[in-house]
Amino acid sequence: KNQVEQSPQSLIILEGKNCTLQCNYTVSPFSNLRWYKQDTGRGPVSLTIMTFSENTKSNGRYTATLDADTKQSSLHITASQLSDSASYICVVSRFNAGNMLTFGGGTRLMVKP
Amino acid sequence: DGGITQSPKYLFRKEGQNVTLSCEQNLNHDAMYWYRQDPGQGLRLIYYSQIVNDFQKGDIAEGYSVSREKKESFPLTVTSAQKNPTAFYLCASSGRQETQYFGPGTRLLVL
């Protein structure tokens, strides 16, 4: 079964600290993996996208890694800001499946002053 | 939110009533999607359309209906057959094999 599991479900950190969110997937055949940020009551916004051959990709203070062998990805947030408080969703697409996506349940991050 | 708009932001449904959620995009995308989001769960696909006048059922289509008469518009109707409609509904669109861009969402509540 194609699944995407994220951990932790929720996380609280102090402003300025770093954190790492995890994503494990069983989606096959793998095409690409995306991390989305979703503010409360808003639609998700894409942060990064990685294909099979990419190990790491950065977008400002966000750095995503991908290990296609172990089917794991992580999202590292550096020097967190209050505006980073949101849900972070890991999304995997299958090769030759059109643009059909499998979504993780998300990690809810709260950054406190 | 890109060039995708959803309305209304909040919608209240009475028992036995059909309600329609609007989704419009000006990104010239061929594909459009409707998702349902419940607390603590991943987004689940309700319906999708890859071209005008054609649409396909997703994983949880029962109790919902859609139409795709124009490229820019993909309205979703929540029918009275949907017994648990309270959720956050997200519309998305994409170009061919591209990232899906999401609208701001509609929260549906049952009175």
What percentage of chain A carries pLDDT values higher than 70? 99
**Where residue B97 falls among pLDDT bands split at 50, 70, 90?**
low
Q: Does A68 touch chain B (CB under 8 A)?
A: no
User: Which tokens sit at B54?
Assistant: 């054609």
pLDDT tens, residue by residue, A20-72: 999 999 988 888 999 999 999 999 999 999 998 899 999 999 999 999 999 99
- Give the three-class secondary structure for B85: coil
- Per-residue pLDDT, B95: 87
Instruction: Compute the distance between CA of residue B5 and CA of residue A89 in angstroms, rounded to an integer.
Output: 21
Smallest Cβ–Cβ distance between B97 and the set A42, A99, A102 belongs to: A99
Side-chain-side CA neighbours of B17 within 13 Å: the count stands at 11
Quote the minimal CA–CA distance from A14 to chain B in Å: 23
Mean pLDDT across A11-18:
98
DSSP codes joined into one string, B36-52: EE-TTS--EEEEEEEET
Q: Cβ A105–B104 below 8 Å, yes or no? A: no
Q: How far is CA A14 from its chain centroid?
A: 20
Query: Are A98 and B90 an interchain contact pair (Cβ–Cβ within 8 Å)?
Result: no
Place of tokens 């999304």: A91
- Percentage of the residues of chain B whose pLDDT score is greater than 70: 97
CB contact under 8 A, A99 and B100: yes
User: Cα–Cα distance between A36 and A27 in angstroms, integer?
Assistant: 17
- Whether the CB of A89 is below 8 Å from some CB of chain B: the reply is yes
* pLDDT at position A99 over 80: no
Residues of A within 8 A of B54 (CB-CB) are none
